[in-house]
Amino acid sequence: MLPRRSVAVKSRTNNNNNKSYFNFFNGNQRDARINMTTHHAHTPLLEERLHQIIVFELREDGGTEYSTMTLRALYNYVVALITEACRISNIERQSSIIQRDTSPASNTTSLLHHDNLEQPTGHHKIFHKPHKERLGGYLHPRDMRRLVTPFSSSNEPQLMVRRHVMLLNFDPLRAIVLRDRLLVIVPDGADSILIDLERRVRGGITEMENQVFGKERPPKSSGTSTVKKSRSSAEFETTDDTHQLEDNDKKDSAISDKTEIVSSDDDIVEDEWEELQKMNWDNMQFELQSVDAVLQTVTAMLVVDARKVHHRSTVAMSELRGDAPGQKRGGPGEHAQERLRLHKDEVKMMESRVQGFVRAMNDVLDDDEDMTLMNLSRLLTHPERFLQPVPEEILHEESDEPELILEVYLQQALSIVNELDLLKGQIITTEEQISMQLDAIRNRLLFINTLLSVASLCVAIGSFVGSIFGMNLTNHIEDHPTAFTRVTVGTVVGMILAWAILSRIFQQAASTRSNWKSR
Question: 344: how many CB neighbours lie within 10 A of its CB?
Answer: 17
Residue 177 phi/psi, 5-degree rounding, is: -105, 125
Reply yes or no: is the peptide bond before residue 332 cis, omega within 30 of 0: no
Q: How many CA atoms lie within 13 A of 142 on its CB side?
A: 1
Rounded to whole angstroms, the Cα distance separating 494 from 487 reads 10
Question: 117: how many CB neighbours lie within 10 A of its CB?
Answer: 14
Identity at 255, one-letter amino acid code: I
Residue 514 has pLDDT above 50, yes or no: no
For the chain, count helices (H), then strands (E).
16, 6
Rounded to whole angstroms, the Cα distance separating 435 from 334 reads 10
| Helix (H/G/I), strand (E/B), else coil: 150 | coil
Rounded to whole angstroms, the Cα distance separating 438 from 72 reads 60
Question: What is the pLDDT of the chain when averaged over all its residues?
Answer: 73
Residues near 502 by beta carbon (within 8 Å), at least 6 away in sequence: 454, 457, 458
Summarised one tens digit per residue, pLDDT across range 208-250 is 555 555 555 544 444 444 434 444 444 434 444 444 545 555 5
Residue 205 has pLDDT above 80, yes or no: no
Rounded to whole angstroms, the Cα distance separating 13 from 265 reads 112
| Helix (H/G/I), strand (E/B), else coil: 375 | coil
Summarised one tens digit per residue, pLDDT across range 267-306 is 554 555 555 454 444 568 899 999 999 999 999 999 999 9
> How far, CA to CA in Å, does 219 sit from each of 55, 266, 323?
45, 11, 42
Rounded to whole angstroms, the Cα distance separating 167 from 142 reads 12
Q: Answer left, alpha or beta for residue 290, where phi above 0 means left and psi between -120 and 50 means alpha.
A: alpha
Residues in the chain: 519
Q: Which residue has the higher pLDDT, 122 or 148?
A: 148
pLDDT of residue 50: 59
Calculate helix-pair angle for 286-321, 191-213, nearest 10 degrees.
90
Q: Are 496 and 456 a contacting pair, CB within 8 Å?
A: no
Q: Are 120 and 385 a contacting pair, CB within 8 Å?
A: no
Rounded to a whole number of angstroms, the distance between the first and last alpha carbons of the chain is 124
Record the pTM. Answer: 0.65
Summarised one tens digit per residue, pLDDT across range 69-121 is 888 889 999 988 888 888 887 787 777 767 665 544 444 444 344 444 444 44
Task: For CA atoms 200, 202, 204, 207, give the dihedral sign.
Answer: negative
Mean pLDDT of 112-136: 43
